[in-house]
Amino acid sequence: MTGFDAVVIGAGVLGAATALDLAESGLSVLVLERGAPNREGSGTTAGNLHIQAVHTRRPGQAVPLDSQALLPAQKASGQLWAEAEERLDADLEVRRNGGFMVAETPGQCAELRTKHLWEEQSGLRTEVLDGDAAREALPLLGPTVEAATWCSDDGYANPLKVAPAYLAAARRNAAQVRAFTPVTGLQRRGARWRVETPAGHYDTPVVINVAGPWIGDVCAMAGLRLRMSPVAIQMHATVRERPLLHHLVQHIGEGMSVKQVTSGNLLIGGGWPARRMEQEGRSHASSRSLTGNVAQAARILPVLSGLRLLRMWAGPLAATPDEMPLIGAVPGAPGFYVAGGTYAFTFAPLWGETLGRLIREEQPRVDVSPFSPDRLTETGRASLTPTRKGVTPC
Amino acid sequence: MTQPTTIRTADAAVVGAGPAGLAAALELGLAGLRVLLLDEQSAPGGQYYRSPGPEAVREVGDHRPAGARLIARVRACGVRVLSGHTVWGVEDDRRGLLAAGPDGDPVIVRADRIVVATGAYERSVPFPGWQLPGVVTPGLAQHMCAEGVRLGRSAVVAGSGPFLLPVACALLERGVRVLAVAEAGRPYTPRPAALGALRFPARLVELASYTARLARHGVRLHQDTVVAEASGRERVREVTLVRRSDPRRVVGRHGADVLCVGYGFRPQSDLAQLLGCDMGRDPATGDPVPLLGAAGRSSVPWVHVVGEAAGVAGAPTALLRGRAAAFDILAARGRTVGRRSRRAVTARLASLARFNGLTSRLYPDPARLTAELAAGLPGDTLVCRCEGVTADTLRSAACLPGGSDVPALKGSTRAGMGPCQSRECGPALDALRGRGTGAGAVPARVPLRPVPLSTVLHLRAFGEET
Ligand SMILES: Cc1cc2nc3c(=O)[nH]c(=O)nc-3n(C[C@H](O)[C@H](O)[C@H](O)COP(=O)(O)OP(=O)(O)OC[C@H]3O[C@@H](n4cnc5c(N)ncnc54)[C@H](O)[C@@H]3O)c2cc1C
Ligand SMILES: Cc1cc2nc3c(=O)[nH]c(=O)nc-3n(C[C@H](O)[C@H](O)[C@H](O)COP(=O)(O)OP(=O)(O)OC[C@H]3O[C@@H](n4cnc5c(N)ncnc54)[C@H](O)[C@@H]3O)c2cc1C
């Protein structure tokens, strides 16, 4: 068969979640993946489920992101994650033990309080603790912690299980998945798209470009310009430990996250970037950033300095120039949809459902118009809304 | 607590103090270069020249005194030997080596030239029961024997390769009863391929002396025979050997408390990979190997790769490769190296390569043998011992889209994610992956060995100063 109702480009977590939504609604779906599924951003991610408002800026990030604007999507994602294992009939190692977001400076403390107000307005329950109260709640926190917000909905899931479970469910609904089948060309032919691969071409009215850091390249094949700024960041895992840490710990100013996963390893994510984003081949972790990331994490959780590093890896990220997510139809290209950008793991269940609804012309669960690709196209450039100034990193 | 970072600079840094690294360091040191020789073991020597502890030397003697002499010469010519130093990573410029000293103290080594002489791993193939205590590799068994340790009462030695025979002899010497030696191939049946070996009489004499000794002790040498299973509760109690060509035929069941099994060696080339050397794949073994030019030159201008890390070929070759690389480095620095000695090294390497070619033709190709044995594994066999992943789990993952890719298999099953980082199950994962496009091995990653985070934290202190 060379015709499909929808062709999904990229078998990361967004491609997998979208394929399931579309296949469940009865469409014939083909997923094309350049390599093996779940090996890029979605297989290398920290896998945190960020429900409380996120930090606004990691070191090296050019502009702060508008974390307030993400709250409705985070809240909805929190609900969808609660149902994910049942829906997929799979153990995703979803753990919702709650998380702390810590602050070390007066500026960061003020940020925590502002963010807490937004969360209240959005109907998300968080609590602000001063340093001592935070240490009482989590004695592992170090002496530099001045305040923390606590959100009982924060958590993580095992990224090695999530996208594969979505793909398996999509395949149970008759979606087809082709690994090692890169999309090499996209042509508009009448009312359809012709999707070209070295193994042949496929015709479809609907193309979903969820190629992660390669979204821009795939757009270019269709003659579309989308301004993206992919980066690579890195993760660090310790050897397995006895249970030490039950919660997610993040930093409001530094893009740091630490948790202990089900297998017992502690995963340390940091804002220090990987060596460089490799458009071809794989990105490499940076030793310099290793030291930067570990220093941040060990300051907040001194217990880490007694552990051993087992491995580290880099993962590519489909960042946008304004650091905000990207989802919707691309203007001027009928039937051409994109999704990606910030926190796509947390948002995966929601973005999968949202793309399905947009394609079926149904009302999405949350208003995604602020995240429309319009702002990143050449024509939409003038209307690019400046990021809100409510939160300024110090 | 660890100390702040030590930074050491040198003309050349050699990683690995086995025959290859020692030989390279010696020539470079004799020529007056400032040389650092790093090795993670507590004393230099590597696999071949690993010196037994002083007590063992007193009791059982040093079986390879040439090693002690070579090490003494290396020290005498001014090479700085840093034992107990594990190289675990490289700086982002791929020049500096990140190491941890004996107490985890951070050391950064910056040298104009890097010689990678990191040797080889032992090649394992899973079988039911391989996780039981009492199952050891030949390398470990030989080192324990050299230390004067008696590993158990009775042993079965199995696998494939010429080194099974000396290991069996070493076990006998320590008073272990050797119940059987099982070789997967048929190397000891005279065939035309073996005739070429007649040109290497010394090696044949060595081989003959091992077989004679085994015969004197009444040890049966089975060919075309592999381990089907090891069983026991807390430890190996019984070993079942079967015909390789007809696995239903049981060759023997032996009540043994030691099973020594190995299938040769795999180049330990991950440091070369981290340094950015272009890699290829050895067709016979399936192992990732650096692509090398003359004298161990890699694709990275400042990196040479020598010894087993460049491809498994035995200790004499390792020594010569080390020397050849040293001569090459000296020549590039404008030193005159006697043309006679360079030519002699090249000629001996060529002759050894011919011998190795003949020998390896006698034994089954490791990649094919591994594939065959892995295909026959019962479904509940643990393939990844660290993470407890069975053959059946891997087989079903291999059928999923992307299952022809070892990194993807690792991701979907956790195989290879434990402390050994797929050093042990790597060849089996390659054999069990689905057919089609995909990588046969996981890429090398920092850290090469688990490293204390306190070591990393002290590197940070250095980073801030500059
Ligand atoms: C280290 C790291 C930590 C992170 N931590 C978090 C976190 O804690 N929480 C969170 O919510 N988010 C996190 N993120 C972000 C999030 O994980 C990713 O943004 C998300 O997984 C991306 O999913 P995706 O499906 O959009 O893209 P990807 O997973 O990158 O998938 C895109 C796929 O498209 C394929 N592709 C590309 N070009 C083509 C082509 N031409 N033809 C066919 N296929 C193609 C690629 O091979 C790839 O498989 C993190 C990301 C990284 C890298
Ligand atoms: C049981 C057994 C029997 C053998 N019998 C024979 C025989 O009879 N004849 C023969 O020719 N060969 C034999 N060999 C093979 C022989 O030992 C090797 O050919 C030889 O040792 C290879 O030398 P090398 O210098 O390349 O590596 P090795 O001797 O393996 O030395 C490598 C060194 O590098 C160190 N190293 C590795 N990585 C790092 C790192 N990241 N940081 C710091 N240090 C590191 C290791 O600790 C090791 O000391 C035998 C091997 C074994 C195990």
Ligand 1 contact, A273 CB (< 6 A): no
Ligand 1 contact, A40 CB (< 6 A): yes
Measured in Å, residue B246 CA sits from the centre of ligand 1 at: 47
Measured in Å, residue B82 CA sits from the centre of ligand 2 at: 17
Task: Please name the residue of chain A whose CA is at the shortest distance from the CA of residue B403.
Answer: A36
> Residues B368, B373, B375, CA angle at the centre, nearest 5°?
95
| A344-359 and A67-88 helices, crossing angle to 10° | 80
pLDDT for A306 equals 96
Domains of chain A: 1-97+157-230+318-394 (3.50.50.60)
3-state secondary structure at position B116: strand
B357 to chain A, any CB pair closer than 8 A? The answer is no
Tell me which of B92, B95, B448 to substitute to probe the interface with A (most A C-beta atoms closer than 10 Å): B92
Neighbours of A292 (CB within 10 A): 22
Which residue from B26, B42, B48, B83 has its CB within 8 A of the most atoms of ligand 2, so it is best to mutate?
Answer: B48
Q: What is the largest CA-CA distance in chain B?
A: 68
Q: Quick check: B350 and B335 in contact, CB under 8 A? A: no
B52 vs B149, residue with greater confidence: B149
Tell me which of B406, B453, B459 to substitute to probe the interface with A (most A C-beta atoms closer than 10 Å): B453
- The bridge status of strand A257-260 relative to strand A248-251 is antiparallel
Confidence of residue A273 (pLDDT cuts 50, 70, 90): confident
**pLDDT, tens digit, 9 for 90 and up, residues B217-226:** 999 999 999 9
3-state secondary structure at position B4: coil
Q: Quick check: A309 and A238 in contact, CB under 8 A? A: yes
**Which residues on adjacent β-strands are paired with residue B116?**
B15, B305
Q: Quick check: B309 and B268 in contact, CB under 8 A? A: yes
How far apart (Å, rounded) are the C-alpha atoms in residues A258 and A57? 17
Closest partner CB to A313 (pick from B90, B408, B445): B445
Closest CA to B65 of B269, B73, B280: B73
Residue environment code for B45-80, b if the CB has 16+ CB neighbours within 10 A, otherwise e: bbbbbbbbeeebbeebebebeebeebbeebbebebb
How far apart (Å, rounded) are the C-alpha atoms in residues A168 and A11? 12
Distance from CA of A359 to the nearest CA of B (A): 26
pLDDT for A386 equals 38
Distance from CA of A287 to the nearest CA of B (A): 6
> Residues A114, A115, A116, CA angle at the centre, nearest 5°?
90
Q: Does the pLDDT of residue B465 top 50, yes or no?
A: no
pLDDT for B466 equals 35
How far apart (Å, rounded) are the C-alpha atoms in residues B188 and B169? 17
- Retrieve residue B195's tokens: 């005739």
CATH number among 2.60.40.10, 3.30.70.20, 3.40.50.1110, 3.50.50.60, domain B124-263: 3.50.50.60
Q: Does the pLDDT of residue A378 top 90, yes or no?
A: no
pLDDT for B2 equals 54
Q: Does the pLDDT of residue B464 top 50, yes or no?
A: no
- What mean pLDDT value characterizes chain B? 91
**pLDDT, tens digit, 9 for 90 and up, residues A364-376:** 999 999 999 999 9
Tell me which of B5, B103, B396, B456 to substitute to probe the interface with A (most A C-beta atoms closer than 10 Å): B456
Ligand 2 contact, B356 CB (< 6 A): no
Residue located nearest, by CA, to atom 50 of ligand 1: A45
Confidence of residue B200 (pLDDT cuts 50, 70, 90): low
CB contacts of B446 in chain A (<8 Å) are 285, 287, 290, 311-312
Q: Please answer yes or no on whether A286 and B92 come within 8 Å at the CB atom.
A: yes
Closest partner CB to A295 (pick from B414, B419, B460): B460
**pLDDT, tens digit, 9 for 90 and up, residues A281-324:** 788 999 999 999 999 999 999 999 999 999 999 999 998 999 99
Tell me how far CA of residue A304 lies from CA of A248, A300, B32, B147, B445, in angstroms. Answer: 14, 9, 44, 37, 21
Those residues with Cβ within 8 angstroms of residue B286's Cβ, 6 or more apart along the chain or in another chain: B366, B367, B370, B427, B430, B440
Least reliable range by pLDDT among A112-116, B118-122, B144-148 = B144-148
Q: Please answer yes or no on whether A310 and B460 come within 8 Å at the CB atom.
A: no
CB contacts of B454 in chain A (<8 Å) are 305-306
Q: Quick check: B328 and B293 in contact, CB under 8 A? A: no
Task: Please name the residue of chain A whose CA is at the shortest distance from the CA of residue B411.
Answer: A160
| Fold: same for B6-121+266-337 and B124-263 | yes
Phi-psi region of A328 (alpha: psi -120 to 50; beta: other; left: phi over 0): left
pLDDT for A390 equals 32
- Retrieve residue B270's tokens: 């991950």
A266 vs A332, residue with greater confidence: A266
pLDDT for A1 equals 54
B457 to chain A, any CB pair closer than 8 A? The answer is yes
Ligand nearest to the CA of B262: 2
pLDDT for B340 equals 81
- Retrieve residue B107's tokens: 């050391």
A56 vs A151, residue with greater confidence: A151
**pLDDT, tens digit, 9 for 90 and up, residues B106-128:** 999 999 999 999 999 999 999 99
pLDDT for B359 equals 79
Confidence of residue A381 (pLDDT cuts 50, 70, 90): very low
Q: Does the pLDDT of residue B55 top 80, yes or no?
A: no
CB contacts of B457 in chain A (<8 Å) are 291, 294-295, 298, 305
Q: Does the pLDDT of residue B461 top 70, yes or no?
A: no
Confidence of residue A224 (pLDDT cuts 50, 70, 90): very high
pLDDT for A254 equals 85
Domain B377-432 has CATH 3.40.640: no
Q: Quick check: A317 and A213 in contact, CB under 8 A? A: yes
CB contacts of B443 in chain A (<8 Å) are 282
Least reliable range by pLDDT among A5-14, A279-288, B143-152 = A279-288
Tell me which of B446, B449, B454, B466 to substitute to probe the interface with A (most A C-beta atoms closer than 10 Å): B446
Q: Does the pLDDT of residue B161 top 70, yes or no?
A: yes
CB contacts of B98 in chain A (<8 Å) are 287
Measured in Å, residue B45 CA sits from the centre of ligand 2 at: 8
Distance from CA of B436 to the nearest CA of A (A): 9
pLDDT for B3 equals 66
3-state secondary structure at position B112: strand
B463 to chain A, any CB pair closer than 8 A? The answer is yes
pLDDT for A380 equals 52
- Retrieve residue A381's tokens: 């450039």
Residue located nearest, by CA, to atom 13 of ligand 1: A343
pLDDT for A113 equals 95
B382 vs A382, residue with greater confidence: B382
Which residue from A160, A317, A320 has its CB within 8 A of the most atoms of ligand 1, so it is best to mutate?
Answer: A317
CATH code for B6-121+266-337? 3.50.50.60
Tell me how far CA of residue A63 lies from CA of A340, A393, B25, B241, in angstroms. Answer: 18, 10, 51, 66
How far apart (Å, rounded) are the C-alpha atoms in residues B10 and A48? 44
Q: Does the pLDDT of residue B22 top 90, yes or no?
A: yes
Phi, psi of A376 (to 5 degrees): -110, 0
Ligand 2 contact, B307 CB (< 6 A): yes
Q: Quick check: B391 and B375 in contact, CB under 8 A? A: no
Q: Quick check: B261 and B186 in contact, CB under 8 A? A: no
Least reliable range by pLDDT among B193-197, B318-322, B355-359 = B193-197
Q: Does the pLDDT of residue B463 top 50, yes or no?
A: no
Q: Does the pLDDT of residue B8 top 70, yes or no?
A: yes
Ligand nearest to the CA of B142: 2
Q: Please answer yes or no on whether B408 and A36 come within 8 Å at the CB atom.
A: yes
B407 to chain A, any CB pair closer than 8 A? The answer is yes
Least reliable range by pLDDT among A195-204, A217-226, B279-288, B404-413 = B279-288
Percent of chain B with pLDDT over 90: 75
Domain ranges of chain B: 6-121+266-337, 124-263, 377-432
How large is the average pLDDT for residues B334-356?
85
pLDDT for A279 equals 81
Closest CA to B194 of B366, B364, B359, B365: B359
A390 vs A42, residue with greater confidence: A42
Which residue from B36, B42, B47, B355 has its CB within 8 A of the most atoms of ligand 2, so it is best to mutate?
Answer: B47
How far apart (Å, rounded) are the C-alpha atoms in residues B241 and B253? 6
